[in-house]
Structure 1
Amino acid sequence: MAAGSRDGWLDRVMTAVALRRWGRAAEAAPETDLPRLRRQRAAARRLKTRLDRLLQVAEARLALPLIGSQAFPRPQDADWAWRPDPWCGPLPVQGLCPARSPARLAEGTVLFHDCPRADIVLRQIRNTRDADLAACGLKLEVFRFEGSYLSLAVDLPEAAAQGLKRRHLLRVEALVEMERPVEILARLNIRHGPNTEQIVRELPLQGDRARVEFDLAYARLNEKRVDHLWLDLIFEGPEMSQVILRDLTFCRRPRAEL
């Protein structure tokens, strides 16, 4: 038997013994002599303090989305799905203030802008809501903005390019919170050989959820030479705004044959 198994078995035995002991004490309390009852009360209060502390921490941690989770709804026929690292778990660098371009928060996640005075903050936050499936989110705060563009670039992994065909649909879904309405454009970039195909769609918000599908049937790309994909989220008129990307996910599926 492994040491870990013995420790687990011993813990269960000791817990059962303690439960029986306190159960008997509770049943006998009406008849217990007062000096002993006073000692039991003091011990029970000390135990309760520690148990309450354990319960508080456990309830908080167990209620949060799981670190590293790739769980999210996807079509049954999806042949690839992915959630980027900044939405999966804590990053080594969790905030950039000011976020000067190019502001690299994580490998493959970079904020670009041309604002000479970077009154911009980009940081990772922990998701805590019941509706959240992603462990973390990204919070973008923009104060004074004198530039002409602001975009968040997210590199897709090699698996997204492998086997990519013009018959594929690529879906992007986001969970977004805003202080005020900000238009967000999603630009899919597909590098194939020396050329890069770009497809731009507005990210339509329905409440705090947004979904857009890129139909590659209309893309002019060489399927045999596709080697890299990335997404640009472009924020229009971002001055004095706060945008929280609670989640960002991708999935790929073949279009139904006609």
Structure 2
Amino acid sequence: MAKVRKGLVARFVNRRMRRYWSRAAAAAPEAELSELRRQRNAARNLRHTLDELTFQADSRLALPRIGSTTFPRPQGTDWSWRPQAWRGALPVKGMAAVESRTMLGDEVTLFHDCRISELTLRQLRNTREADLAPFGLRLDVFRFDGSFLSLVLNLPDAACDGLRKRHLIRMDVIVEMEKPLEIFARLNVRHGPNTEQIVRELPLHEDKVMVEFDLAYTNLNEKRVESMWVDLIFEGPEMNQVTIRDLTFCRVPRAEL
């Protein structure tokens, strides 16, 4: 009730203010100079405040909404997901000299074998008009004396519920780089004592970066699926900055043959 009353009062005051300034503008050609000077100063102060409000509103309304799970899904999708690092603000925004096995949030872990880490990993707010994900993840690599660098994403339990060999796991990525490098995605599915692995190279030369993992070519035991995760493996990352603007997953049953 208080919110309704506040809204009514705000609308009433707004109408009164518009009428006042409309009458002042109409009377300006004949107004006393002292009154006109006072009104001009008041109008300039008001315009500054309104410009600030408009700027802040345009900036916030143009950004993807925090928590958004909006992204295109293929027809027939029975599970889809955008990881938290791309969906919502993390308690720790970033870190420098990142050690191996360091987690950013609850779902992303950085692995490497560098003796001296010159790596930074941080979350950033997406602001581009084309962005659907509220946040992105940026990896800066300076001197790199290791042999491997990867980001591991733990997929939620829902990705494993009802998983069958006839499923395709689709991953869509929006990625930016300072200079070209190769990125591989490896899907890992643990079932009992075994782990199935499928590796795909991201087609970074294409406008739409998407890979599909076809479980039909694995020895998956559908009754014993326990967990699933994806490794993003960066080849030759030294002196590069990689920004992953969005990362989404879909699970789609393959059409029956």
TM-score range, shorter chain: over 0.9
Match of 1:86, as an amino acid? Answer: A
Q: CA deviation at 1:207?
A: 4.6
Question: How many residue pairs end up in the alignment?
Answer: 257
Residue 232 of structure 2 is aligned to residue 233 of structure 1:
yes
In structure 2, what is the Cα distance between the partners aligned to 1:28 and 1:159? 67
Residue 18 of structure 2 is aligned to residue 19 of structure 1:
yes
Match of 1:253, as an amino acid? Answer: V
In structure 2, what is the Cα distance between the partners aligned to 1:28 and 1:89? 52
In structure 1, what is the Cα distance between the partners aligned to 2:19 and 2:181? 60
Q: Which residue of 2 aligns with 1:213?
A: 212
Which deviates further from its counterpart, 202-211 or 239-248? 202-211
Match of 2:3, as an amino acid? Answer: G
Does the residue aligned with 1:125 lie in a helix, a strand or coil? Answer: strand
Q: CA deviation at 1:209?
A: 3.7
Q: Which residue of 2 aligns with 1:149?
A: 148
In structure 2, what is the Cα distance between the partners aligned to 1:126 and 1:92? 14
Residue-by-residue CA offset, 1:98-153 (whole Å, 9 max, x unaligned): 11111211112100000111011111111111111111111111111111110000
In structure 1, what is the Cα distance between the partners aligned to 2:144 and 2:81? 32
Does the residue aligned with 1:205 lie in a helix, a strand or coil? Answer: coil
- Using the size of structure 1 for normalisation, the TM-score is 0.97
Q: Which residue of 2 aligns with 1:131?
A: 130
Q: Which residue of 1 aligns with 2:63?
A: 64
The runs of 5 or more residues in structure 2 that have no matched partner are none
Q: Which residue of 2 aligns with 1:90?
A: 89
Does the residue aligned with 1:139 lie in a helix, a strand or coil? Answer: strand
Q: Is the 8 A contact 1:152 1:234 kept in 2?
A: yes
Q: Is the 8 A contact 1:96 1:103 kept in 2?
A: no
Q: CA deviation at 1:76?
A: 2.2
In structure 2, what is the Cα distance between the partners aligned to 1:48 and 1:195? 67
Q: Which residue of 2 aligns with 1:257?
A: 256
- Using the size of structure 2 for normalisation, the TM-score is 0.97
Q: Is the 8 A contact 1:175 1:208 kept in 2?
A: no
Residue-by-residue CA offset, 1:174-227 (whole Å, 9 max, x unaligned): 000011111001000111122111111111114564100011111111111112
Q: Is the 8 A contact 1:162 1:227 kept in 2?
A: no
In structure 2, what is the Cα distance between the partners aligned to 1:60 and 1:208? 27
Q: Which residue of 1 aligns with 2:162?
A: 163
Residue-by-residue CA offset, 1:65-120 (whole Å, 9 max, x unaligned): 11111001111211111100000122111111011111211112100000111011
The runs of 5 or more residues in structure 1 that have no matched partner are none
Moved over 3 A (4+): 206-209
Change (3 A) 1:98 1:208: farther
In structure 2, what is the Cα distance between the partners aligned to 1:22 and 1:252? 58
In structure 1, what is the Cα distance between the partners aligned to 2:204 and 2:8? 52
Q: Is the 8 A contact 1:176 1:209 kept in 2?
A: no
Q: CA RMSD in A?
A: 1.1
Identity level (%): 60
Q: Is the 8 A contact 1:161 1:227 kept in 2?
A: yes
Change (3 A) 1:256 1:133: same
Match of 2:214, as an amino acid? Answer: D
